[in-house]
Homo-oligomer: A and B are copies of this chain.
Amino acid sequence: MLGLMQDWPLLTHRVIDHAARHHGGREVLSRSVEGPLHRSSYAEVRHRALRLAQRLARDGVRLGDRVATMAWNTWRHLEAWYGITGIGAVYHTLNPRLFPEQIAWILNHAESRMMLADLTFVPLLEQLAPKLPHITRYVILTDAAHMPATSLPGAVDYESFLAEADGDFAWSEFDENTAAGLCYTSGTTGEPKGVLYSHRSNVLHAMACSLPDVFGLAAMDRVMPVVPLFHANGWSLPFSAPLSGAALVMPGPKLDGPSVHALLEEGRVTFTAAVPTVWLALLQHLEATGAALTTLKRVAIGGSACPPRLIEAFTQRGVRVVHAWGMTEMSPVGTVCSMKPETAGLSPQGQLELQAKQGCPPFTVDMRIVGDDGQEKPWDGSTFGNLQVRGPTVTRGYFKTGKSALTEDGWFETGDVATIDAHGYMHVTDRTKDVIKSGGEWISSIELENLAVGHPDVAEAAVVAARHPKWDERPLLILVPKQGRTIEKQSVLDHIAPHVAKWWLPDDVVVVEEIPHTATGKIQKTKLREQFAGYFGAG
């Protein structure tokens, strides 16, 4: 027997409808790619998104078509998402920091038929366009006055494109499981894989992210997603901010410390979100200039593990750190380190240590840790296991692969190794590929690296498994010295030793001038592993 409640599918355009109707005047403040600040509102964003939807439909964009965006966080990019999804098409975000060949590969795999791009990326796209047969039109996210001469096929500036529609248009209606967004993960190995979000997953994710123990978004908040929209759905903020009626402050292309600080202040931002490197740059700027954060209350930090000194620095400035963990395949938010009664009585130092953990999943996400045999591991805060997740905002398979990405019993393998403590706080200790398996026990490469970079002479550190005749694998520490410094191997090992079990200590240290990185700035451990696999003489 079915209930008798209204049929009201969870569609992303209902989010902007709600914002426009109940928070219509709320500000959307953006730094434009052209330079000046731009002020809009949810009512205006919705109206222009409707015009975009109408205009796209007139160009023949249909349900399921992919429309690519290569753009910074601005009001136009926000409008584009709602305009595209409002007719059942799919926003396909591209990370411009990828290698050009990867971008071309992704666009061709996605068969995206149109591209909305910022001025910044016109030269790159002109170079790529001949290799992109599916894209028939390039809409440049600017106005006629700023439109460059370009060889891009069907090129038109966004404002002129929009001007051809009057907004006398209605959103399409369709099943809430319809695809809404597409984002490719760029692993350190293999081809990129497309994660295909649905309207339902986007809306549920936005609701879950707005909860008090996640981002806690309210109409009184002013939210600045420094994390780009092309970085896994902008961590829900393009949906969760309007859903909650919070104002949006969009940083455009300027993500350096001084620019981020200026906009946090100008925009009276209360909540912001980005990866640790952005915040390290901001804090450097604050320390150098003595400037303050006068309105900021909470900062979400994720994308990679948050260094404890970042948590400490923000806490000292009266800003609460919301340490979050997730992945593109999770929409992306998976866990958040929020307080529970069991942990509320910790000392300030204990709180800081707790906040270094990635935390607990909100409703809609479940997690577990399992051994290589698939058996669930205990929640004791010390046992390592492969972290698996499930829920309505977690992917079940990649675009155009035609196969499941799940375990037989329906869980998604995150590729992370983690512990979970007795209160349910998850702590990522390593990547499955990077963890060192020494005599049946697991050693965290990340923990060793974090300790190593705490040494005053060390600029960057990588720990990789090298094959070992007795223990299968043993950790090898690879270091880059700070400019003008010399690294004493034993001094670094002595620095690490008090903090880890004796058998965790790397068997040797190698000092190098440079460590290889991926296009997105991550250490390329595969390369290091290949290079140093035989270091201890095992075959």
A35 within 8 A of B: no
- Which residues of the other chain, B, contact A7 by a CB distance below 8 angstroms? 392, 396
- Encoded as 1 (CB less than 8 Å from any B CB) or 0, chain A from 199 to 222 comes to 111001001101111001111100
Q: How many copies does the complex hold?
A: 2
A22 to B365, CA, bound (A): 10
Question: Is A393 a contact partner of B5 (Cβ separation < 8 A)?
Answer: yes
Question: Is A211 a contact partner of B211 (Cβ separation < 8 A)?
Answer: yes
Q: Which of B3, B179, B200, B412 contacts A179 (CB 8 A)?
A: B3
- Encoded as 1 (CB less than 8 Å from any B CB) or 0, chain A from 356 to 369 comes to 00001101101000
A246 to B384, CA, bound (A): 29
A338 within 8 A of B: yes
A468 within 8 A of B: no
Question: Is B396 a contact partner of A247 (Cβ separation < 8 A)?
Answer: no
Question: Is B2 a contact partner of A178 (Cβ separation < 8 A)?
Answer: yes
Closest to A201 in B: B5
Question: Is A211 a contact partner of B244 (Cβ separation < 8 A)?
Answer: yes
A208-B207, A219-B213 known; A361 vs B3 contact (CB < 8 Å): no
Q: Which of B2, B21, B220, B340 contacts A219 (CB 8 A)?
A: B340
Question: Is B22 a contact partner of A361 (Cβ separation < 8 A)?
Answer: yes
- Which residues of the other chain, B, contact A245 by a CB distance below 8 angstroms? 213, 340
Considering only CB atoms and an 8 Å cut-off, how many residues of chain A contact the other chain?
A: 76
A342 within 8 A of B: yes
Closest to A218 in B: B212
A344 within 8 A of B: yes
Closest to A64 in B: B1
A219 to B339, CA, bound (A): 7
Question: Is A3 a contact partner of B198 (Cβ separation < 8 A)?
Answer: yes
Q: Which of B23, B218, B390 contacts A8 (CB 8 A)?
A: B390
- Which residues of the other chain, B, contact A25 by a CB distance below 8 angstroms? 342
- Encoded as 1 (CB less than 8 Å from any B CB) or 0, chain A from 307 to 342 comes to 000000000000000000000000100000011111
- Which residues of the other chain, B, contact A218 by a CB distance below 8 angstroms? 211-213, 216, 338-339
A213-B218, A216-B212, A218-B212 known; A6 vs B199 contact (CB < 8 Å): no
Closest Cβ–Cβ distance, residue A211 to chain B (whole Å): 6
Q: Which of B213, B364, B391, B396 contacts A244 (CB 8 A)?
A: B213
A87 within 8 A of B: no
Question: Is A397 a contact partner of B4 (Cβ separation < 8 A)?
Answer: yes
Closest Cβ–Cβ distance, residue A66 to chain B (whole Å): 9
A479 within 8 A of B: no
A195 within 8 A of B: yes
Question: Is A366 a contact partner of B21 (Cβ separation < 8 A)?
Answer: yes
Closest Cβ–Cβ distance, residue A38 to chain B (whole Å): 19
- Encoded as 1 (CB less than 8 Å from any B CB) or 0, chain A from 399 to 428 comes to 100000010001010000000000010000
A398 within 8 A of B: yes
- Which residues of the other chain, B, contact A198 by a CB distance below 8 angstroms? 2-5
A26-B341, A210-B211, A363-B243 known; A3 vs B197 contact (CB < 8 Å): yes
Closest to A24 in B: B424
A1-B63, A211-B211 known; A6 vs B244 contact (CB < 8 Å): no
A395 within 8 A of B: yes
- Which residues of the other chain, B, contact A393 by a CB distance below 8 angstroms? 5-6
- Which residues of the other chain, B, contact A529 by a CB distance below 8 angstroms? none
Question: Is A394 a contact partner of B363 (Cβ separation < 8 A)?
Answer: no
- Which residues of the other chain, B, contact A4 by a CB distance below 8 angstroms? 179, 195-196, 198, 395-399
Closest Cβ–Cβ distance, residue A390 to chain B (whole Å): 6
Which residues of chain A (57-76) have a CB below 8 Å from chain B? 63-64
Question: Is B195 a contact partner of A6 (Cβ separation < 8 A)?
Answer: no
Question: Is A8 a contact partner of B391 (Cβ separation < 8 A)?
Answer: yes
A180 to B28, CA, bound (A): 40
- Which residues of the other chain, B, contact A50 by a CB distance below 8 angstroms? none
A213-B218, A390-B6, A395-B6 known; A90 vs B1 contact (CB < 8 Å): yes
- Which residues of the other chain, B, contact A247 by a CB distance below 8 angstroms? 341
Question: Is A178 a contact partner of B3 (Cβ separation < 8 A)?
Answer: yes
Closest Cβ–Cβ distance, residue A180 to chain B (whole Å): 7
A177 within 8 A of B: yes
Sample (5) of A-B pairs whose CB atoms are under 8 Å apart:
A3-B199, A3-B200, A5-B393, A6-B392, A220-B344
Question: A: which residues have CB within 8 A of B?
Answer: 1-8, 10, 14-15, 17-18, 21-26, 63-64, 90, 175, 177-180, 195-201, 204, 207-208, 210-213, 216-220, 243-245, 247, 331, 338-342, 344, 360-361, 363-364, 366, 390-399, 406, 410, 412, 424
5 smallest A-B Cβ distances: which pairs?
A: A3-B198, A1-B64, A8-B392, A5-B201, A212-B218
Given contacts A21-B424, A207-B363, A219-B340, 12 further A-B contacts (CB under 8 A): A5-B393, A5-B394, A5-B395, A5-B396, A6-B393, A6-B394, A6-B396, A6-B412, A7-B392, A8-B394, A211-B211, A218-B339
